[in-house]
Amino acid sequence: MNIYDLDLKGLTAQLTELGQPAFRARQIYAHLYKKLANDFAAMTDLPAALREQLAANLQIGNLELVREQTTDDGLTRKVLWRCPGNAVIETVLMIYPPDRATICVSTQAGCAMGCVFCATGKLGLLRNISSGEIMEQVLYFERYLRNEGAAIAKRHGGPVPDHITNLVFMGMGEPFANYERWWAAVERLNDKQGFNLGARNMTVSTVGLVKGIRQLADEALQVNLAVSLHAPNDQLRSELMPVNDRFDISDLMDSIRYYTDKTHRRVSFEYVLLDDKNDTPELAAQLANLVKGMLCHVNLIPWNPIPGTPLTRSHRERVTAFQRVVQAAGISCTVRVERGVEIAAACGQLAAIPSPTSPINLY
């Protein structure tokens, strides 16, 4: 059993089966999530016999690190993992000096949603990943920052965080299609006795699974919500995102209003810009009309290239023109800062494939 799949209650039950008192579970929990131990032998305040029992019955993680890649002068780092059963996932760390380090985490191997502009969607769903496998991605990079933060700061001539400050569930997969395991990881990440990352420092992105949006609205933790919209009308959105045939824009907007009314928290609309596809001023006006009056922000994302797809990213002038139309309607609208494109680590590129073989001319 992967020990990262156990919350404190589950770990206490395991220790009870081994004839150990509950306080031992709290010790081990602190070793895992505060001291970041990845070897039972390092838990030296435990009796040697207990450490041997733990090693015989539990393992600390089950992901196999296959490959690491870096870009942006080492400030963006992508890791490829192999899961049991041979499916693969990817995780990305993005450091923004002086005070932010964001990790982009996968919640599934592959994805069943089939968005035409996304490399992960071309894989189909390979399998859900466990809460422990979600935790393992985070803890790996937390350990990396703790150990290497000073060296990174020295290389860049200024401070960088020595811990993860923000977490986005925007890697491979649709989090709400793996809701139970994903939420178990959220609770463990937020646990003050464990990793202790604030819920408001976490953001989950969905293609628009309305049941998940409503369920999130009813949760106690205030996790931020980002919704992949990418088109302001049903015809175009269904062409780009098959999920729209199940939950059209009207259903989606109803669920988002439920979320904002219940939580009083702003939702972020993600909008990937595709040249001459969804980036015209007319569509920008439709988008502004669709979201006007909502507690929201629009995040424009110039499409990131993926192999074998007959799409092109919007030119800078079209991006700027689109943004101006939305802003003129009084709606907060920004363009996402590009990171990791050269190693296929940017939005929509995660598919456990090699980086593009030829230079990418972004504009």
SS3 128: strand
Query: In the Cβ-directed half-sphere of 66, how many Cα atoms lie within 13 Å?
Result: 15
Sign of CA dihedral 17, 22, 28, 30: positive
- Whether 347 is catalytic is yes
From the candidates 104, 111, 333, 347, give the one annotated as an active-site residue.
Answer: 347
**To 5 degrees, how large is the angle CA 208–CA 211–CA 216?**
90
- Whether 90 is catalytic is yes
From the candidates 52, 64, 90, 142, give the one annotated as an active-site residue.
Answer: 90
* Alpha carbon distance 264, 244 (integer Å): 25
Q: Which residue pairs from 155-162 have beta carbons closer than 8 angstroms and sit at least 24 positions apart in sequence?
A: 155/73, 155/74, 156/73, 156/74, 156/75, 156/97, 158/97, 158/98, 159/97, 159/98, 159/99, 160/75, 160/95, 160/97, 160/98, 160/101, 161/95, 161/98, 161/99, 161/100, 161/101
- The residues assigned a catalytic role are 90, 347
